Amino acid sequence: MSAPEKDRLCRDEIIAQVSFLTFAATDTTSNALSRIFHLLSENLEVQEKVRDEIAAAFVQNGGDLGYDALMGLPFLDAVCKETLRLHAPIPFVMRQAAEDTMLSLSEPVKCFKGEKKQEIMVPKGTRIFISILNSNRDPNVWGPDAAEWKPERWMNPLPDTVLNAKVPGVYSHMMTFIGGGRSCIGFKFSQLEMKVILSLMLQTFKIEPSGKKIEWQFNAVAHPMTEDAPVTAAGKKVQLPMKLTLL
């Protein structure tokens, strides 16, 4: 309530924002965390490296890992970024053109009559599906290993192709959290939440595969499940069994 009158949110706006943050925290973020745990269980060397970094940070900070220290852990950040790049929780979004727009393309497309165009007209009211995964995995941008999970790619300067692509996302040259005025309002909170949980879980447990094959179902949000998962009214039951060993 201390904000200037012109910057204050009305009651309906506050309710809408709180609802949005709650949705982001309980669905997209939780499934992003599930994907990280799944990948770490399959890549124990990476898991151990993250654990060592977290443990060293706790020692250096007297057992109390504050915001700046946690967010400044480079390899933990690399694991989160690479997972959010390769496995964005929301694979695509839909937008509707508010006005007639000439849309520029990064690469020319071949039309039905054979001619190539570098831009296309999008009439007002047109619904456009934006593939987040396609943008985040584009080999022309991220290189020939774009489809591989490699946290170490973030430990070095990104290639010029990433910087020159000028992807309009709000987060690390990707479209995971979209971009512009309708980008994810909770993307920084999401990063903090993931890193807090990872820092506590990894210093407490060793995480390994359960032996069951994990499948990821792509709906509005990607969800994990097993081959033998029970079927509910909403489809296969969401689950990610893992083996936890107390350290």
- pLDDT of 65 strictly over 80: yes
Name the pLDDT band for 234 (thresholds 50, 70, 90): low
- pLDDT of 142 strictly over 70: yes
The answer as to whether 14 is a domain residue is: yes
- Please count the structural domains in the chain: 1
Binding site, by residue number, is 184
pLDDT of amino acid 39: 98
pTM for this model (two decimals): 0.88
pLDDT tens profile 117-132: 999 999 999 999 999 9
Binding site for heme, by residue number, is 184
The answer as to whether 129 is a domain residue is: yes
CATH code of the domain covering residue 81: 1.10.630.10
Give the domain range for residue 225.
Answer: 10-246
- Choose between 199 and 221: higher pLDDT: 199
The answer as to whether 4 is a domain residue is: no
The answer as to whether 31 is a domain residue is: yes
The answer as to whether 172 is a domain residue is: yes
pLDDT of amino acid 168: 92
pLDDT tens profile 16-53: 777 766 665 678 899 999 999 999 999 999 999 999 99
pLDDT of amino acid 111: 85
The answer as to whether 1 is a domain residue is: no
pLDDT tens profile 165-199: 999 999 999 999 999 888 888 899 899 999 999 99
Three-state SS across the chain? CCCCHHHCCCHHHHHHHHHHHHHHHHHHHHHHHHHHHHHHHHCHHHHHHHHHHHHHHHHHCCCCCCHHHHHCCHHHHHHHHHHHHHCCCCCEEEEECCCCEEEEEEEEEECCCCCEEEEEEECCCCEEEEEHHHHHCCHHHHCCCCCCCCHHHHHCCCCHHHHHHCCCCCECCECCCCCHHHCCCCHHHHHHHHHHHHHHHHCCEEEEECCCCEEEEECCCEEEEECCCCEECCEECCCCCEEEEEC
Ranked by mean pLDDT, which of 63-67, 185-189, 235-239 comes out on top?
63-67
- Choose between 124 and 236: higher pLDDT: 124
